[in-house]
Structure 1
């Protein structure tokens, strides 16, 4: 769901201020996944770009959860092959 907006009683009006960051709406299905946002969903993913992926793989330890096939199977809902 959407991130709730603050009401005016909690907002500060500061002269010459500007918005530096705005939260993106959460995925519609986030309530089924602990209300994760897009950033959180991507934490256990490797980059799609092959060059970025290879650079990252050079620095990751072999125990990194992104490289564990049992964790990947669990994420995919394959409980029998984890």
Structure 2
């Protein structure tokens, strides 16, 4: 079991074994849940479909779609001269 210390500013430092076990990196978001006198920390993982939607909404792919005729796989195969 890992232990830590609460700083004067009420900050916690996660021990290295906890960070590694949970795959926590700087900038990751966590959620705190208090249950029956215990603190649970949940790592918030981004919803990849939401991230993809945001990226697609952020960029205009109209020119690429026009060039590939909405069939990027076929287009890449043609560019590489590969047969199906």
With normalisation by structure 1, the TM-score equals 0.24
Whichever of the two has the greater Rg, that structure is 2
Structure (1 or 2) with the greater strand fraction:
2
Q: Which has the higher contact order (CA 8 A, sep 6+)?
A: 1
With normalisation by structure 2, the TM-score equals 0.24
